[in-house]
Chains A and B, each alone.
Chain A
Amino acid sequence: MEKRESGLLASLELKEQILDQIPTPVMAVDKEMRLLYMNKASLELLDKTMGEVAGKSCYDTVHSSHCGTENCCMRKAFKTGEPCSDRTELNSKNGKIQVEYYAVPLKDDNGTTIGGLEFAVDITAQAQYEERLREQNQTIRLMSTPTIKLWEGILVLPVVGVIDSLRAQNMMETMLTRIVDTYSKVIILDIQGVAAVDTAVANHLIKITKATKLLGCECILSGISPAVAQTIINLGIDMNAIKTKSTLSDALSEALSLIDLEVKEKQS
């Protein structure tokens, strides 16, 4: 009998030791959200001792951005009886950290919920990485449509890389806004840097031209290489709706003549 009890005690101790050695915060609460247990990692994170936190409500101890709101996963888990996970911000002793936490309802033998278990994973680094990725995306998006004012009433938009429908949409919006901002009469779309022109790309270009036309702004497509010209013809794309030129300088002289300007050699 004694042996069994000590065996049980030993196994309880072992379990606690195991929980304490898990490097991520683990805690258990009862139905009223009072703290029953916190492992070493979570106590260290909050800089508290078990004596300080035992019996206190978890939202008074943890202070995450979800605490005391409807977003709390523990509350959701109690309500549904199903495990629940989400992301939140936590106030640790080292300042705010981003965590992904999981709340699991603890059930007795009859299946009624008697409390909850919660464990969290620090995702600060991951969140920062995602944030950086978003910023980079934004930068690339801004860089992908550099509209340059070449002359009063003439804009140039060099396109480099691959045109997909998202980018085409983006290009169209930026272009139209710039055209209205600068009161431009002509825009030159330079596709020298576009790797390949297929039917989809051509369709986008035609759409863009039509859109600029609606603003009363003429669109000239320049930088068409022999290879691109051949593909366009082989694909049977009708580019009659667009003014096309082979080089940017050709397009520029066309643009200048459209706004009744001409370039002359200086008389000396």
Chain B
Amino acid sequence: MNGANLDLNASITQIGRNVIVTISDNMTDDRIHEISDIIIEQTHRSGASGAILNFAMVSMIDSYIYKTFESTSRALTLFGVKVVWVGLSPGVVCSMIDLGIEPDENVMHTAMTLEQGLAELAGMAAQ
């Protein structure tokens, strides 16, 4: 898996029952697709209960990237995994809103930082 991580410009780490994926900048469409597949596979295999997609390093999200990660999140919710998107920067958010993207509360939650994201997952697990 680690070898794959190096190739994919993304790190997938598991801490406790949560999978944390850090997504990097400048990815090609194919890479994004591969990363998405790997996230779903890894989360399924490890039986995680929560997933965090960290976009802190991403400087731009276009409709394709959004769509791909949204479908990924949708797939993860089918396993009963709670998904939180964290680290979206103000510029990224502005461009997403301008693109008319409407995030679905049932699919993914959002938090500002990784820490808050983990707190959110813990809160959801407690409920």
Knowing A207-B97, A210-B102 are in contact, say whether A173-B90 is a contact too (CB < 8 A).
Answer: yes
B112 in complex: contacting residue of A173, A210, A215, CB < 8 Å: A215
**With A and B bound together, what is the CA distance between A173 and B93 in angstroms?**
9
Task: Say whether A214 contacts B103, CB under 8 Å.
Answer: yes
- Candidate in A176, A185, A215 with the most chain B CB atoms within 10 angstroms: A215
Interchain Cβ contacts under 8 Å between A and B, 24 examples: A173-B90, A173-B94, A176-B90, A176-B94, A179-B112, A183-B113, A183-B116, A185-B116, A207-B97, A210-B97, A210-B102, A211-B93, A211-B94, A211-B96, A211-B97, A213-B103, A214-B85, A214-B88, A214-B103, A215-B88, A215-B93, A215-B110, A216-B111, A216-B120
- Residues of chain B at the chain A interface (Cβ within 8 Å): 85-86, 88-90, 93-94, 96-97, 102-103, 109-113, 116-117, 120
Residues of chain B lying within 8 A (CB to CB) of residue A180 = 89-90, 112
Within 8 A of B (CB), among A192-227: 207, 210-211, 213-217
Across the two chains, which residue of chain B brings its CB closest to A241?
B102
CB pair B116–A216 under 8 Å, yes or no, is: yes
Neighbouring A residues of B89 by C-beta, 8 Å? 180
- How distant is A174 from chain B, measured CB to nearest CB, in Å? 9
Q: How many A-B pairs fall under 8 Å by CB?
A: 49
Question: Are A216 and B93 in contact, with the CB atoms below 8 A?
Answer: no
Q: How far is the CA of A16 from the CA of B65 in the complex (A)?
A: 72
B100 nearest CB neighbor, chain A only: A207
Q: Which residues of B contact A214 (CB under 8 A)?
A: 85, 88, 93, 96-97, 103, 110
Residues of B within 8 A of A251 (CB): none
A184 — nearest CB in chain B belongs to which residue? B112
A interface: dominant SS: helix
Most chain B C-beta atoms within 10 Å of own C-beta, residue among A169, A177, A207, A214: A214
Which B residues touch A185, using CB under 8 A? 116
**Cα of A141 to Cα of B126 in the assembled complex, Å:** 44
CA distance A207 to B117 in the complex (A): 23
A216-B110 in contact given A172-B94, A176-B94, A207-B97 (Cβ < 8 Å) = yes
**Min distance, Cβ A95 to any Cβ of chain B, angstroms:** 42
CA distance A169 to B94 in the complex (A): 8
Given contacts A210-B97, A216-B120, 5 further A-B contacts (CB under 8 A): A172-B94, A176-B90, A214-B93, A215-B110, A216-B110
Evaluate whether A216 and B94 lie within 8 angstroms (CB atoms) in the complex, with A179-B112, A183-B112, A183-B113 already known: no
Residues of B within 8 A of A213 (CB): 103, 110
List, in ascending order, chain A residues with CB within 8 A of B96's CB.
211, 214
Q: Which of B93, B103, B111 contacts A176 (CB 8 A)?
A: B93
Smallest Cβ distance from B52 to chain A, in angstroms?
A: 11
